[in-house]
Amino acid sequence: MSFFTSCRATFFRKNIQGKIINISSVVGKEAMPKYAAYSASKFAIIGFTQALALELAPYQINVNAVCPSLVDTERVTQLVNTLSENDEQFKDKYVELLQNRSGLVPLGRLATRTDVANIVSFLASEQSNFLTGLAIPVAGGSMVH
């Protein structure tokens, strides 16, 4: 935490406007069974984001979080294969999701790295200058509140 405090002090001294973008997870917005520690850590990132947004707003520093759902990457595929070794039902559900037959993601697919990067790019741009303290889900409509 002292490193972060030192970084903030530099912003204040130099009167630099800026953006801070944290990465959390949809599990930080809505807990998931069997993932208590992971959920808690992601909830903490969102709480930290909100508190920091209020603290840094007078300095024109925007603080937001991006909350991706499951992102279709090689790592996820490896994880699914590992988990599927002992749970064929798990693999079937995952395959169903990927084949667009599941109602879990209304847009019909998992998030991609590009989907997440696009939200980060938007938050880093001047177009988001009036947004702060948000935790934005990148979840294809699976988190509609």
**Do 11 and 63 reside in the same domain of the chain?**
yes
Strand partners, 22: 65
Question: Could you give the number of structural domains in the chain?
Answer: 2
b/e code 17-38 from CB counts within 10 Å (16+ = b): eebbbbebbbbbbbeeeeeeee
Residue at token pair 């559900």: 93
In 3D space, the residue among 48, 63, 67 whose CA is nearest the CA of residue 18 turns out to be: 63
**Do 96 and 27 reside in the same domain of the chain?**
no
Among 35, 38, 59, 94, the active-site one is 38
Model confidence pLDDT, tens digit, residues 85-107: 766 776 666 666 555 434 578 88
Distance CA 44, CA 41 (A): 5
> Would you call 35 a catalytic residue per the annotation?
no
pLDDT tens, N- to C-terminus, the chain (145 residues): 555 555 555 656 667 789 999 999 999 999 888 889 999 999 999 999 999 999 999 999 999 999 998 888 888 777 767 766 766 776 666 666 555 434 578 888 888 999 999 999 999 999 999 999 999 999 888 877 6
**Do 20 and 79 reside in the same domain of the chain?**
no
**Do 79 and 19 reside in the same domain of the chain?**
no
Tell me the CATH number at 130.
3.40.50.720
Give the H/E segment covering residue 135.
strand 135-138
**Do 43 and 104 reside in the same domain of the chain?**
no
The boundaries of the domain holding residue 126 are 2-69+115-138
**Do 10 and 64 reside in the same domain of the chain?**
yes
Give percent above pLDDT 90 in the chain. 49
**Do 8 and 45 reside in the same domain of the chain?**
yes
Within-domain flag for 145: no
**Do 34 and 101 reside in the same domain of the chain?**
no
- Cβ partners under 8 Å of residue 67, min gap 6: 24, 25, 26, 28, 29, 42, 46, 135, 136, 137, 138, 139, 143
